[in-house]
Amino acid sequence: MLDLTQLPPEAFRRWDESPDPIFYAQPRFVTHIDAGAIAAVTQLYREYFPAGGDLLDVCSSWVSHLPEDIAYRQVIGIGLNAAELAANPRLTQWFVHDLNANPCLPLPDACLDAAGLCVSVDYLAHPIAVLRDVGRVLRPGGPLVITFSNRCFPTKAIAIWLALTDHQRCRLVEGFLQAAGVWRDIQTLDRSPGGGDPLYAVIGRRV
Under the banding of pLDDT at 50, 70 and 90, the label for residue 30 is: confident
Average pLDDT on 70-83 reads 98
What's the start-to-end Cα distance of the chain, in Å? Answer: 19
Domain positions in the chain are 4-32+51-185
Q: Does domain 4-32+51-185 have CATH number 3.40.50.150?
A: yes
The CA distance from 47 to 51, in Å, is: 10
pLDDT in tens, 6-28: 789 999 999 999 999 999 998 98
The CA angle 160-164-165, to the nearest 5 degrees, is 160
Q: In Å, what is the CA distance from 13 to each residue of 8, 98, 106, 124?
A: 10, 16, 24, 9
pLDDT in tens, 104-134: 999 999 999 999 999 999 999 999 999 999 9
